[in-house]
Amino acid sequence: MGKFNYNYQVAYNDMDGSGKATVSALLRYAEESTIKQSESIGFGFQTLIAKHEAWFLLNSLLFIINSPAYNQSGSVTTWSTGINSSRLQAGRETTFFDHNHTLLARRKTRWVYMDTLARRPKPTSEELIKAYNSQPADFHEPFSKFDNHLIKGTAKVLPILRGYIDSNGHVNNTHYWLWAYEAIPLNEIEGMRPLVIETNFKNELVYGEAVTSLCEEVTLPYSPFAGHEELFKDSKSFKHQLLKADGNLAASFYSVWRPL
């Protein structure tokens, strides 16, 4: 299969107050493109559910050069960058383009293949590895190494809604950012747009829990990405943590914001 293309159009409920697609919308486009590719090669989520298997997301690094606007159409290209059966992990990249095929954003992710009954990683099959036909990576920025020390800063306790639960029985990964975003004081990001959103997923969240969202401003956690140094000028950075009801860490984030 190699690379897979998926077309999108920014709907009204995909945009923010400025008329641009939100981070959550971009994450949904990426997720849908991955699902459609998997279905096209015979390994869609319904097939995996029947075998009590699923891909769980471990890491995500989203770099937003520019967000598409309301009613704008474009395309997403996604591909596997390698499946390591011995480590039970896989890499994936996704690129976002507008209708003129101008690059808008890049995303790289790392996944683990899971036995959903035992809630443990399991090896992938050689048939699955061959079907995805992995291609070389284009986005070479490394994932950050997050520590587990609790940050001190703004804190909000937020509910988990039923609508956040997906076919794997836990909160879908596209919702985590909404809780992290909620803890940023609005005056700190007034007149700014998200540039980098990085997530390290640690523990599942399920319906019935409450989430504590922690946020503090930090120095820029990255060297400005090569070729895009100007975008990082006058940027502002935050570290985020989401805590489960028992106090365990559910996810950590970095977010970098740039002036409009």
One domain for residues 105 and 16: yes
Q: Write down how long the chain is.
A: 260
Q: Is residue 15 part of a domain?
A: yes
**For the whole model, what pTM was predicted?**
0.96
What CATH code is carried by the domain that includes residue 33?
Answer: 3.10.129.10
Model confidence over 165-205: pLDDT tens digits?
999 999 999 999 999 999 999 999 999 999 999 999 999 99
Q: Identify the three-state secondary structure at position 260.
A: coil
Would the pLDDT of 1 be above 80?
no
Structural domain contains residue 147: no
How many distinct structural domains can be found in the chain? 2
When pLDDT is averaged across residues 57-73 and rounded to a whole number, the result is 97
pLDDT for 87:
78
Q: Is residue 149 part of a domain?
A: no
| Res. 85 pLDDT band, cuts 50 70 90 | confident
The answer to whether residues 103 and 173 belong to one domain is no
The answer to whether the CB of 44 falls within 8 A of the CB of 102 is no
Select from 83, 101, 132 the last residue of a domain. Answer: 132
**Whether residue 112 sits in one domain with residue 232:** no
Q: Which residues contact 246 (CB under 8 A, 6 or more apart)?
A: none
The better pLDDT of the pair 98, 86 is held by 98
Lookup: tokens for 84: 């390591």
Considering the chain, what is the average pLDDT of its residues? Answer: 95
Select from 237, 163, 245 the least CA-distant residue to 198: 237
Q: What are phi and psi of 36, to 5 degrees?
A: -65, -40
Alpha-carbon separation of residue 115 from 29, 145, 217 (angstroms): 26, 26, 38
Q: How many CB atoms lie within 10 A of CB 34?
A: 23
* Planar angle of CA 192, 194, 200, nearest 5 degrees: 145
Q: What are phi and psi of 60, to 5 degrees?
A: -145, 135
| pLDDT score of 210 more than 80 | yes
The amino acid that residue 193 corresponds to is R
Does 104 share its domain with 217?
A: no
**Position 153 confidence tier, pLDDT thresholds 50, 70, 90:** confident
**How many Å apart are CA 248 and CA 128, to the nearest integer?**
33
Do 113 and 170 belong together in one domain?
no
In a domain? residue 189: yes
The pLDDT of residue 86 is 78
Within a domain: 145: no
Instruction: Say whether both 89 and 191 belong to one domain.
Output: no
Same domain, 178 and 254: yes
Q: Which residues are registered as beta bridge partners of 204? A: none
Burial string for 101-120 (b: 16+ CB within 10 Å, else e) reads eeebbbbbbbbbbbebeeee
Q: Is 219 contained in some domain?
A: yes
Residue 201 belongs to some domain of the structure = yes
Residue 47's pLDDT band (cuts 50, 70, 90)? very high
Residue 142 lies in a domain: no
- For residues 15 and 121, membership in a common domain is answered with yes
* H/E stretch holding 236: strand 236-243
Are 28 and 114 part of one and the same domain? yes
Q: Which domain holds residue 22?
A: 4-132
Same structural domain, 73 and 128: yes
Same domain, 36 and 99: yes
- Answer yes or no: do 169 and 120 share one domain: no
